[in-house]
Amino acid sequence: MVIGAQPTNTGDLGDFLATLRRRWRWVLVPLIVVPTLIAALTASRPDVYVASSNVLLTATAAQDAVDDSSTNTGILDRTLENEISLALSDVSREAVAARLVVNIEDLPDITISRDGRADVLTFTARERTPAAAADAANVWAETYVELKQTEAEQSIAGALDRLTVRLEEARARRAQATDASEEAVANAQISSITDSIIALELSGELALSGTARVITVANPPASKANAPLGRNIVLAVIAGGLLGVAAGLAADNLDRSIRTSADLERMGIVSLGTVPEPERNSPHSRLETMTLDVPDSPFADAHQKIRTAIDFASVDIDLRTLAVASANRAEGKTTTSVNLAIAMASAGRRVVLADCDLRRPRIDKLFGFRRTPGITDSVLSNVPLVDVARPINESLHDLVVITSGTLPPNPASVISSAPFAKLVGELREEADLTIFDTPPVLPVADGLALAARVDAVVLVVEARQTLRPEVLRTVDLLQKAGATVLGAVLVGVRGEAGYGYRYEQDSEPTPSTI
């Protein structure tokens, strides 16, 4: 069976919830930290009170009296933005500071907004007390009105001066007139200018009082403007939750390791089962042989399920030789090989467990055997299989072990040799199943050479350690070598309930008398 290239589709909601469960710490930290910070900031901020005063800007008859093509002394062509600039000018700030008896740098926080439809300016002050807020808004509005009145007074005075000059010029033209028509024109100009002066003088008082006026006086606010603590915390919880979810999803996307069977399936790799991460506070037992030592343990049960999964996955092939491979060293390959061999033998099969890691062999130490004679001695020195095969336990007579033997200088050449192929053929005839513990695929070529000579390969993946690109690369190399990859076994999976066995370093075993 060749692993398909297309990933297995799973429910989006299920994947999302599974991701959050895996990354619950990423979700929980912002969910706690953000509301805590917001609550602390809200509680530490001083009370703030807000008060507003409104000023209406108006045009007057005086502006019409002085309006001509060259001069505009009123506010008709001024925008409200200009008025806001005037209200916030240095002149205005100095006047406000003087009335409030404070330094300019200590002026209250003021905001001036506009309502263009009504030509209204709103002066909003923020202060520590209700009275201070109302006083600041009113003083600033009144100061602006006074500035506008001063501006209007200066505008009227300037207009009168200009009209007086024009009147004198008209009188001079009349005095210099040489005929009745010129005198009549001059008289008409004098009459018009005189009317304008009279109108301007009559409307001067209205101009001074009507240019700008306060229409709403600020009153001390009854409550502070600070956002309520409860509302801030609710919003912070929502924001923290969203941030936590985003952080969890980002961490999951950036994490290239494999954590669950679903991760394997999304990569298009068949999951043959999972082996739990043993708990540290549990009865002592060697993990490598737990299926034999504690056959009713959940750890042993996991390997029994993997055995069943392998049987289903290999239904279309005559599985007599099986290699257990991994991408890198120290990913649980030997432990899986031994426990799987014990599970197969417990089901009544004649099983041979062969140590083909000719660089770092371990099986001889696990069972207390001498390393020689072993596989290499059988291949290179024609030592018969019966002399290198050793039973591991009298109660499990259907399982024998073949150690690595004398370590050769070039392991890949030994595995690629014709005598080794002959040995594999002999094992196929002698046993129902031969399981080869192999060296890692990525660092050395030995594993690929062996994978090409067996019926199928099972890949061991260590949860949270083996990276997705490494697994995909390993599968690709195995398939290019002509191997049939049945699927992968995920070991060291966290969160499997009921698994309470401990992986501890095995001490140097006592040599067997076998």
pLDDT in tens, 287-303: 878 888 888 888 889 99
The average pLDDT across 181-188 equals: 83
More confidently predicted of 310 and 117: 310
Predicted confidence at residue 65, as pLDDT, reads: 42
Task: Tell me, rounded to whole angstroms, the distance of Cα 152 from its chain centroid.
Answer: 60
Alpha carbons 361 and 405: distance in angstroms, whole number:
9
Residue 59 has pLDDT above 70, yes or no: no
Q: Check: CB of residue 145 under 8 Å from CB of residue 210.
A: no
Dump strand ranges (E) for 268-412.
Answer: 271-276, 321-326, 351-355, 389-391, 399-402
Element (H, E) at 158: helix 130-175
For every residue of 197-213, DSSP letters joined together read HHHHHHHHHHHHHHSEE
Query: Angle 406-407-410 (CA atoms, 0-180°, nearest 5)?
Result: 135
Q: Is the pLDDT of residue 498 over 90?
A: no
DSSP state of 467: B
Please give the model's pTM, rounded to 2 decimal places: 0.56
Give pLDDT, residue 43: 67
| Lowest mean pLDDT, pick from 204-208, 269-273, 475-479 | 204-208
With CA atoms as reference, report the closest residue to 89 among 39, 140, 53, 124: 140
- What per-residue confidence (pLDDT) applies to 500? 36
Average pLDDT over residues 263-283: 80
How distant is the alpha carbon of residue 335 from its chain centre?
37
> For 409-431, how does the pLDDT look when each residue is reduced to its tens digit (9 = 90+)?
889 899 999 999 999 999 999 99
What is the C-alpha separation between 476 and 262, in angstroms, rounded? 20
Looking at residue 344, its pLDDT comes to 94
Determine the pLDDT at residue 459.
95
pLDDT at 105 exceeding the cut of 80: yes
Of 162, 152, 153, the closest CA to residue 196 belongs to 162
Provide the pLDDT for residue 116.
60
State yes or no: pLDDT of 488 exceeds 50. Answer: yes
Pick the CATH number of 49-216 from 1.10.10.60, 3.30.70.1130, 3.40.190.10, 3.10.580.10: 3.30.70.1130
Three-state SS for 485? strand
Residue 139 pLDDT: 92
pLDDT digits (tens, 9 = 90+) for 324-376: 999 998 888 999 999 999 999 998 899 999 999 999 999 999 888 999 899 99
Q: What's the first-to-final CA gap in the chain, in angstroms? A: 38
> At which residue do the structure tokens 């060293």 appear?
329
- Convert 374-413 to b/e letters by CB count within 10 Å (16 or more is b): bbbbbbeeebebeebbbebeeeeebbbbbbbbebbeebbe
Average pLDDT, integer, range 24-41:
79
Q: Output the furthest CA–CA distance in the chain (Å, rounded).
A: 151
22 pLDDT above the threshold of 70: no
Map out the domains of the chain as residue ranges.
Answer: 12-45+227-252, 49-216, 256-493
SS3 444: coil
pLDDT tier at 79, thresholds 50, 70, 90: low
Is the predicted pLDDT of residue 285 greater than 70, yes or no? no
Q: Which residue has the tokens 């199943």?
A: 433
Q: What is the CATH number of domain 256-493?
A: 3.40.50.300
Tell whether the torsion through CA atoms of 488, 492, 494 and 498 is positive or negative. positive
Q: Per-residue pLDDT averaged across 463-471, rounded?
A: 88
Pairing relation of β-strands 212-216 and 49-57?
Answer: antiparallel
| One-character DSSP codes across 69-136 | SS---SSTT--HHHHHHHHTSHHHHHHHHHHHTS-GGGPPEEEEEEETTTTEEEEEEEESSHHHHHHH
pLDDT given for residue 183 in this prediction: 81
E-assigned strand segments in 183-280: 212-216, 271-276
Q: Using CA atoms, how far apart are residues 259 and 22, in angstroms rounded to an integer?
A: 8
Q: Which of 137, 122, 154, 110 is nearest to 57 (CA)?
A: 122
CB distance 56 to 126 below 8 Å = no
Distance of CA 35 to the CA centre of its chain: 18
Instruction: Report percent pLDDT > 90 for the chain.
Output: 32
pLDDT of residue 11: 53
Instruction: Give the per-residue pLDDT at 186.
Output: 79
